[in-house]
């Protein structure tokens, strides 16, 4: 993974911080053997660009809320069983043995929107408990659209 990013932020009040980031990414896979004639095998080689904007709000000295919106344009990879519709829409196809012998990975051009909310609470100077929820909307070539949710919880401790 190669990435180039630039970020900036500003404290606009005692409790509110704003931030923005621009990011370019390139992922390169080791094996790009074609699975199907006339369709490249580089399903895991991806290029993309994203822009994120967000805000952090300090509820108390120990608790903060964050909201982030990210727009990404570029290639995405997903996995499925073989089917003609995916073959026609894909820029590349490869085997994906992680999900079984009949599964393929395919690459599409897509545009994604991600909305994320996070809550952080400091338990002390070196630790925090963190919760997050994100909703993603991805619109791919050939009407291949994807929607997803992600819920996270973590306990962090710094040594």
CA dist., res. 12 & res. 54, Å (int)? 13
Report how far residue 60's alpha carbon sits from residue 120's, in angstroms, rounded to the nearest whole number. 11
pLDDT of residue 30: 81
Evaluate if pTM is beyond 0.75. Answer: yes
Nearest in space to 113 (alpha carbons), one of 88, 78, 76 = 76
* pLDDT average, residue stretch 123-139: 96
pLDDT class of 141 with cuts at 50, 70, 90? confident
More confident residue, 78 or 32: 78
DSSP 99: G
**Average pLDDT score over the chain:** 92
DSSP states of 36-70: BTTB-S-TT-EEEEEEEEEEEEESSSSEEEEEEEE
Q: What percent of the chain has pLDDT over 90?
A: 67
Say if residues 154 and 121 touch (Cβ distance below 8 Å).
no
pLDDT of residue 123: 96
DSSP-derived letter for residue 39 is B
């Amino acid at each position: 993974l190669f990435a180039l990013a630039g970020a900036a932020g500003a404290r606009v009040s005692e409790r509110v911080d704003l931030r923005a980031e621009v990011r370019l990414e390139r992922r390169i896979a080791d094996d790009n053997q074609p699975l199907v004639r006339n369709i490249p095998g580089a399903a895991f080689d991806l290029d993309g660009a994203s822009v994120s904007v967000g805000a952090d709000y300090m509820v108390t000295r120990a608790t903060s809320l964050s909201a982030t919106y990210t727009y990404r344009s570029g290639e995405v990879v997903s996995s499925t069983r073989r089917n003609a519709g995916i073959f026609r829409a894909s820029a590349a196809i490869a085997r994906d043995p992680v999900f079984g012998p009949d599964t393929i990975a395919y690459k599409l051009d897509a545009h994604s929107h991600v909305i994320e909310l996070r809550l952080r609470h400091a338990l002390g100077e070196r630790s925090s408990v963190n919760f997050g929820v994100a909703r993603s909307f991805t619109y791919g070539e050939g009407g291949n659209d994807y929607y997803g949710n992600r819920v996270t919880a973590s306990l962090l401790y710094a040594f």
